[in-house]
A and B are shown apart, each in its own frame.
Chain A
């Protein structure tokens, strides 16, 4: 570079052919408007095509061999399960002070199978804000923050006859000890029958851990507490004061509170039985897989369940879907349009036919939307989420029977069907030689047997985000070179043929962005402060959600004006066209934020890009648009205002909620509850909303209102 410059400085500039990469860069930047429009359009189309681009799932790991062995679960196991179920249901009726607790009943049954049994007691924890928790992996230790009531999990471990005790499979059956329902009893009973069977199984190579989780404080909390104790043992002085002496709890038959462990966990399966029948012809298995911050278990785990349930045991498998989309008219129109295009293309060459039938397309989109939404929320959809924090693949199976389970016959046939399914899953995972690693970790589901992998779903995001840096560069370079040319330079008498490079003593020249950068920095600083406020308000404990929300707003706005005032004076000093540089910096901040978020939680970034990218690209000072009076200007203005409105997180929340549930039910408190849900689950989405989205919105607003 130095040599090039030295040649140029002595001789007048020749027309040199620029290097290819520089040429492409220049071309893109000089046509940034067209590139932006094209990329946004292509991104939206690619987004709508995702359900069509989904592939069928397949088992990647050969060792799994699901369904290769004949299931041995028989009605005999169902009978043992029914005994426990009856005992648990009867327990509810007995009103006796000295009766055994539920966890004792379960533990006694566990011990009868010859397993290692112990109790794990824990306290419920208050909500806490750990902003960087997604970064640390496992939840942080905090001992002073719990209430006085406790719950007790019963845990049984079967030591594998062929294993070396290094690996384990975990079965979790949550139940609520406070109000024992038939469904809870059935879950525990089902787990017990499988546990009995596995206790006798000769083929077991991994230890089996059965966690009967007392979900008095929530299903997730009990599993999370147990996992924490399993992985981060707490030694001296921190043992929970839970001794037979100081309470009404008496341990029988030498079952202790000493924490026992099996090996590292290969996989975990949580199963819950729902009492209500679906009314469909078959039993229904609902799979929940999303855990914190959009992490998913390995796709092979879902594949096993789907394969066994559908192809071996004739069950119906479902994953969550947004049912409000099923009747959406515009989605059907899009589906029909795509089908029409596909038919036309197919008439040219039948191999080119790509589209799905309209109904499949709409259904796929509804499932995809739910998958994206739940991943983006970053809140686990069930107790399996706790496992993912320790890199253990886990799913929750919610099983609803086809008929009501009040009769004994129905119960036992149901137990046999489901028991065989779970036996098959355990057997398959038992074959696993390493951790799950063959199949995908990053994917969206469009049906239980179809998925969109990371390589495909990154395309629309990439297309949406690509215009951001290009437009930023265009805005910045345009303004920067212009400013440098304008600058009359005392030394450069040879006419500024290379003013942008050769400018010798520019006092601020290329550092012109520093004022705008200061404003951007101040707004982000403000956002950081705002993001800490909700947990502080929660600690100060005002129970009314609407009041809390209003306090939050009331604290945010004055603090914003404070930062604005500090940083703005110099920004306005800079010059009239300062807004373009501010816009360039805003776009730069948005693209860094989106890029970062796409790695932490892709789904959040995807949804965020849909809101943020058009707003950032379109934004233009209203006063300048106002000077023109044509239809184009009017359209530009309206779109700016609309995008600015939608881009404001509370506004978009209210619109979405109103659209899905009706506007009369929306109030401010809901927003607070939603936000509280996000931060108390340590979702990175919360940080994204407040540290990326909100500052960018504010900066866009400043650009809009630029004088």
Chain B
């Protein structure tokens, strides 16, 4: 409530630039109706969200054990969090979000061409803060130390969790059964009861002998996204984590509103960068419309019996479209934002 009051106060005096993006993110997450819905439905997604945020926080703060712990538990809860290892490594190696390195190379009148891949392992000159003068530069390098720490800690925590699991699951089939019932359940899409995602409808329709093939195709969708995004966004690891989370919440087999709550909250972190985002009102209306419409459609199909599965799936598709638009727009806006520095320095 204090945050809310502060937020409105700052909005009132139109001093938006002083607003702390962390506060905004917290506000968006805590007052998001989707968060409230996830909590009211006693979903476990808040716990998962906490673990994911712990991972990102640990990586931002440069505390490898914490990041490793969050990552291991989040991965234990849902396999999709495994992707976060990439932003974590970049975060631990380089530090927080900054404008792209190649930008500063142009500033330094270096050649444009050796910009991207090769620079990963080389020391790079980077200004400390955005828009500062060129003289004010510090040497930042990619350091392997925290990453090795992270890896060791991750190994330790995984062994620890697996050990505890094997002890507690001794009489129930052991670890093998656990992986079958958790990751296997997520990857095989065994439960086809309707949800917000796009998997259930498709796999309810598909013929059995094509099932394996399409399972592969659907899961590969997420995997295909990983490398292009990391190439394009490696200078903004936090934002990369946000995009990964958003994409996995669109394409995961059993999505819930709690996942959307997480990435919408994280979007608040990039409040200043995304201020010029297009379609913001359209997206807001879309989210409101879909979140009101989809329970009604579900009711029409399941309870009243006057609708059918297509009614509900249509809202799920619309929801996916809005989410994709959100991701595309936010990535575009972020890249534009970074490009503006370049234009500024060229002149």
Contacts and interface: CB of A to CB of B under 8 A. Distances in A.
Contact of A505 (B8, B272, B305, B331): B272
Contacts of B305: 391
B335 A5 contact: yes
Contact of B343 (A9, A136, A514, A517): A9
A5 B275 contact: no
Contacts of B293: 595-596, 599
A79 interface: no
Interface in A497-536: 500-511, 513-514, 517
B304 A505 contact: no
B278 interface: yes
Interface in B159-175: none
Given A2-B232, A6-B339, A295 B332 contact: no
Interface string A487-504: 000011110000011111
B227 to A, nearest CB: 15
A442 interface: yes
Contacts of A136: 303
Interface string B298-314: 01100111100000000
Interface string B271-313: 0100111101110110011001101110110011110000000
A462 to B, nearest CB: 15
B219 interface: no
Contact of B304 (A137, A493, A506, A511): A137
Interface residues of A, number: 44
B300 A9 contact: no
B331 A2 contact: yes
Contacts of B17: 507
Contact of B276 (A509, A592, A595): A509
A280 interface: no
B340 interface: yes
Nearest to B19: A507
Contacts of B14: 507-508, 573
A600 B331 contact: no
B113 to A, nearest CB: 15
Contacts of B292: 592, 596
A493 B346 CA distance: 11
A600 B347 contact: no
B158 interface: no
Given A9-B343, A592-B285, A573 B276 contact: no
Given A2-B335, A501-B336, A513 B306 contact: no
Interface string A582-593: 001100100010
B11 interface: yes
A192 B340 CA distance: 86
Contact of B336 (A502, A511, A596): A502
Contact of B275 (A9, A491, A505, A584): A505
A663 interface: no
Given A509-B275, A511-B275, A295 B281 contact: no
Interface in B6-31: 8, 11-12, 14, 16-17
Given A5-B336, A599-B293, A476 B343 contact: no
Interface string A186-218: 000000000000000000000000000000000
Contacts of A595: 289, 293
B343 A573 contact: no
Q: Which bracket fits the contact residues of B? A: 35 or more
Interface in A271-290: none
A56 B295 CA distance: 34
A493 B305 CA distance: 60
Contact of B337 (A1, A492, A504, A510): A504
B304 A295 contact: yes
B296 A599 contact: yes
Contacts of A508: 14, 16, 275
A6 B332 CA distance: 10
A611 interface: no
Contacts, number: 105
A323 interface: no
Given A5-B335, A599-B293, A137 B303 contact: yes
A658 to B, nearest CB: 35
A653 interface: no
A428 to B, nearest CB: 21
Contacts of B282: 473
Given A573-B14, A592-B289, A600-B296, A510 B232 contact: no
Given A506-B275, A508-B275, A595-B289, A1 B328 contact: yes
A493 B347 contact: yes
A513 B281 contact: yes
Interface string B305-347: 1100000000000000000000011011001110110011001
B217 to A, nearest CB: 24
A371 to B, nearest CB: 17
Contacts of A5: 332, 335-336, 339
A404 interface: no
Contact of B16 (A504, A507, A600): A507
Contacts of A441: 306
Contact of A514 (B11, B299, B336): B11
Contacts of A494: 343
Nearest to A502: B336
Given A2-B331, A600-B296, A510 B275 contact: yes
Contacts of A505: 272, 275-276, 337, 340
B339 to A, nearest CB: 6
B221 to A, nearest CB: 19
B160 to A, nearest CB: 41
A9 B292 CA distance: 39
Contacts of B339: 5-6, 9
A372 B217 CA distance: 48
Given A473-B282, A506-B275, A509-B276, 7 more contacts: A2-B331, A137-B299, A501-B276, A504-B337, A507-B275, A508-B14, A510-B276
24 contacts: A5-B332, A5-B336, A9-B343, A135-B296, A135-B299, A137-B303, A391-B304, A442-B306, A491-B340, A491-B344, A492-B340, A492-B343, A493-B347, A502-B276, A502-B336, A505-B276, A505-B340, A507-B17, A510-B280, A513-B280, A517-B284, A569-B12, A585-B281, A588-B285
Closest 6 CB pairs of A and B: A504-B340, A137-B303, A441-B306, A391-B305, A507-B16, A592-B289
